[in-house]
Amino acid sequence: MRIALPALLCLSSLVACRLEGKSPTHPEGEPKPVAKAAAPAPQEANPGKVTAIAAVAENPREAHAEALAWIAAHQESEGNWEAGEQSHLNSIGLTGLALLALQSDGSTMSSGAHAQAIARGVSWLMAQQDADLGLIGKRVGHSFAYDHAIATQALCVALKASPSEQLSGVCQQATNFITRMRNPYGAWRYDYPPTGENDTSVTGWMVEAITSARAAGLVIDEQAYVGAAQWVDDVTDPATARVGYDSIGSMSSRVTGLNDQFPTQHHEAMTASGMLTRMNAGQTADANPMLKKHEDLLLKKLPEWDPAEKMVDEYYWYFGSLATRRLGGPGWEAWRTAGQTALLKGQVRDGDDKGSWDPVGPWGYSGGRVYATTLNALSLSTML
């Protein structure tokens, strides 16, 4: 059920004047560790696009601004974002990611360089909500859980910056759906109603969403933090500090035939997600030494732009940036330095794709250039 047109026009006045298949953030599929194959000597993914890197290597703010300009320029006429040739996939999640990125420079629905694009995107997402369920998008496949969480987070960030009774109602309904989707005394995975299965990836996005909802003044289930933190405890290997995907020791998911050429041992995406979930739940390094152990594991696998060796992972870099920044200290400075270097090295510096990043990470096949650019822009925003 769509929100009535007059309601959307009301929101537009206030601010001045398609979903099937696998998610770009973590498609369904069992974790499948893949052995690292012999690789050719490292080389640039797009040697013809990096001639101007040296000119901006010391200016991450300019790189961030150019990324946001590319994102805004690639908004669809209806207000959403799509994944190019896979235009029927992931519009909900990609639009949420794009809105989060555009808001990362302080722009809101009514002010800033990207106000118009944000307002249009918010209106489009609101129109996708099922008024009975509160779900944003359609309950198709497994990926709807990711897309709903990301869209909810984006709308709640917009609500906090520009309070609106109408948007507040949409966000509260979306948050209520997240509450109903959580396993009793547990966390989240793909199913609604919940079936008792949990995983660290879906849980990380859901916790980000309810944290944004709480910051926007909405009612949330505080017990969700308890269940999420307990899940992270349950899948943390005390010997290595690695947080598992769906069990102790399990690595990030891969989809056979689509992205299983990306070795999982290069990155610690689930450890980064679990680390952030712990901190969102109120844990501190002083009270829980495991947080520092998580960080130590991340610092052994710093961001590095090396597509030839399959070293790029936008998902990992996003959660790793949020988690290490939250913890602060020397570890954050090491991550920040490596992250800036990697992102500035990989950003396209000329042509139609200027300001964006090639989708050369594990999930680029699904979300395309919009996915890669939104997540990398969000990571870079933490490093400014």
Q: What is the mean pLDDT of residues 108-126?
A: 98
Cα(67)–Cα(159) distance, integer angstroms = 23
Q: What token pair was written down for 244?
A: 């598992």
Q: Indicate the domain borders of the chain.
A: 5-30+45-382
User: pLDDT by residue (tens digit) across 190-232?
Assistant: 999 999 999 999 999 999 999 999 999 999 999 999 999 999 9
Gyration radius of the chain's alpha carbons: 19
Residue by residue, what is the 3-state secondary structure of 258-309? CCCCCCHHHCCHHHHHHHHHHHHCCCCCCCCCHHHHHHHHHHCCCCCCCHHH
Of the chain, the percentage scoring pLDDT greater than 90 comes to 80
Q: What is the DSSP string of 182-198?
A: SPTTS---S-SS--S--
Chain centroid to Cα 320, Å, comes to 11
Q: pLDDT band at residue 86, thresholds of 50, 70 and 90?
A: low
Helical residues (DSSP H) of the chain, grouped into ranges = 5-14, 53-56, 60-73, 91-102, 115-127, 144-161, 165-181, 200-215, 223-234, 269-280, 290-299, 314-327, 329-346, 364-382
Of the chain, the percentage scoring pLDDT greater than 70 comes to 84
CB 319 within 8 A of CB 269: yes
What pTM, to 2 d.p., does this model score? 0.86
State the CATH architecture for 5-30+45-382: Alpha/alpha barrel (1.50)
* Furthest-apart CA atoms within the chain: distance in Å: 59
Closest CA to 157 of 124, 117, 118: 118
Closest CA to 86 of 44, 42, 23, 33: 23
What's the chain's average pLDDT? 87
Q: What is the pLDDT of residue 50?
A: 36
